[in-house]
Structure formats: structure tokens, C-alpha cells
A = this chain, B = another copy of it.
Amino acid sequence: MTTAPEAHRPAGRPRKAVLSRERILEAAFELADTKGGDFTLAALARNLEVRPSALHHYFSGKDELIAGMRGQLTRRVGDHGFETRPWHVAIAAWARAYRATFGAHPGIIAALATMPVDDEPESIIDYERIASAMRRDGYPERRIVPAIVAIESFVIGSALDSLAPEDNLRPVNNPELAPHLTSAEERARAHAAELRTTVTMETFEFGLAALIAGLVAAA
């Protein structure tokens, strides 16, 4: 339900003419995707063919830029009907979108996961929507934030896991070390194939359902 930032840039216009918050964020994602999250604002300015000082009209520093990137990803995750559906139904759809959105930008996942969300209104509004739904559905108030963070931790870890090889726990070179693991991994792959899905996706769905069911039961 989101529009890629590229859509806002008129085709063929030179880069320098269109320096904007959106254009800077777009270049920051490109840089993080190729070089990882450790890039400097100076490197970002070079890629945009502008002086570093030009970036400071839009972002006071790297922290504010990372916050802006997080805000844009949160918008892409989107709403998933928390106002109208039970929280534990809406949050499964939210978690799927969250994993896909963050998994598309592996270079920046760690930076996004560890930065403070406090000054980033998009994320605060997103969490408020979830907290309101949980409260409405009678979830114990002191458990609301821990439950949200637990699901988020699972999603972030799964986004990283989705970047590992599909058959990552298959002991190809050392099967003699791990006969039970070898057999279990084969059964998991066969089961995913029966369901016409991937092991990665089946693992995510199985874990997500178990975690949400556990959180519902713990309330």
C-alpha cells in the first residue's frame, strides 16, 4: 500500500536539482544495502553529488537520518487493521509485513533495531495503534510493551535468518556429526515442499503462530 520514493522523482531530472528528504533517504538505503549500516554522511553526500553541509538542512546527523529511514520503513509496513480486528489477528499480518520490509534492507537492520525510537513519530504512532488494540482486547497493561517487543525481536531475528541459506541447518559437510539434525532438516524441507512453501517461510509462520499463541495464553 506504499509508494516507492522513486515515484516522486520526475524521470530524467538531474540529481542535484532534486535534493530532498526523500531523495536523501533513498540514497541512504542504497548505500546501506551495498555497504552496510556503517556509512558516513560524507559518503552519502558523495553519492548524492552534494556537499555534506547540504544534508544538514534535512538531517542534523546520522542518528536523525537513521530515524528517518526507520520512519519510512514503518510507513511501508503499514496499518493492518488494529482498529477493527482482534490484536492477535492484526499483529500476525503486521509481523509478516514488518519482516518483509526490514528483510529487504539487511545492511541496516542492526542499526534500526538498536536505535532509540523516541524521536521518531511514525514508529510511536505505530506502537500506539498496537497498544490501544491490546488494551481494548483486555491484555494486561503491564504485559503490553513486553509482548510487542517480544514479537518485534522475533521479527528482527527472522528478517536476519531469512538472509541465511535456505537449508542453513543442513550439515552437508559433516552429516556424521549430526544424524538427528540431518534427519530433522530433511523432514522439515519435505514438509515445506508439501505445503508448497519454503523452509524459511514455514519456519517463520510456525514460530510466529507459536509466539502469538503463547502471548495470548500468558495473558
Query: CB within 8 A of A146: which of B127, B146, B178, B188?
Result: B188
The docked-state distance in angstroms from the alpha carbon of A23 to that of B170 is 30
Complex contact B164–A131 (CB within 8 A): no
Complex contact B145–A184 (CB within 8 A): yes
Task: Using A125-B178, A164-B113, A177-B125 as known contacts, say yes or no to A118 and B171 having CB atoms under 8 A apart.
Answer: yes
The docked-state distance in angstroms from the alpha carbon of A132 to that of B171 is 14
Query: CB within 8 A of A177: which of B128, B150, B151, B214?
Result: B128
Q: How many residues of A contact B (CB 8 A)?
A: 80
Complex contact B211–A181 (CB within 8 A): no
Q: A63 CB to closest chain B CB, in angstroms?
A: 12
In the complex, whether A77 has a CB less than 8 A from a CB of chain B is no
Interface positions, chain A 135-176, Cβ under 8 Å from B, are 135, 141-158, 160-161, 163-165, 168-174
Among listed A6-14, A42-50, A51-59, A200-208, interface-contacting one? A200-208
In the complex, whether A21 has a CB less than 8 A from a CB of chain B is no
The docked-state distance in angstroms from the alpha carbon of A211 to that of B212 is 8
Complex contact B174–A124 (CB within 8 A): yes
Q: A167 CB to closest chain B CB, in angstroms?
A: 8
In the complex, whether A213 has a CB less than 8 A from a CB of chain B is yes
The docked-state distance in angstroms from the alpha carbon of A142 to that of B204 is 14
Complex contact A135–B210 (CB within 8 A): no
Complex contact B141–A150 (CB within 8 A): no
Digitize A182-219: 1 where CB-to-B-CB distance is under 8 Å, 0 elsewhere: 01110110110000000100111011011111110110
If A131-B178, A146-B188 are given as contacts, then 15 extra A-B residue pairs at C-beta distance below 8 Å, sorted by A number, are A106-B110, A117-B168, A118-B170, A118-B173, A124-B174, A124-B178, A127-B181, A128-B178, A142-B190, A143-B188, A145-B188, A147-B210, A153-B161, A210-B211, A213-B217
Q: Give the 4 A-B residue pairs with the shortest CB-CB distance, closest first.
A: A150-B207, A214-B214, A153-B157, A210-B214
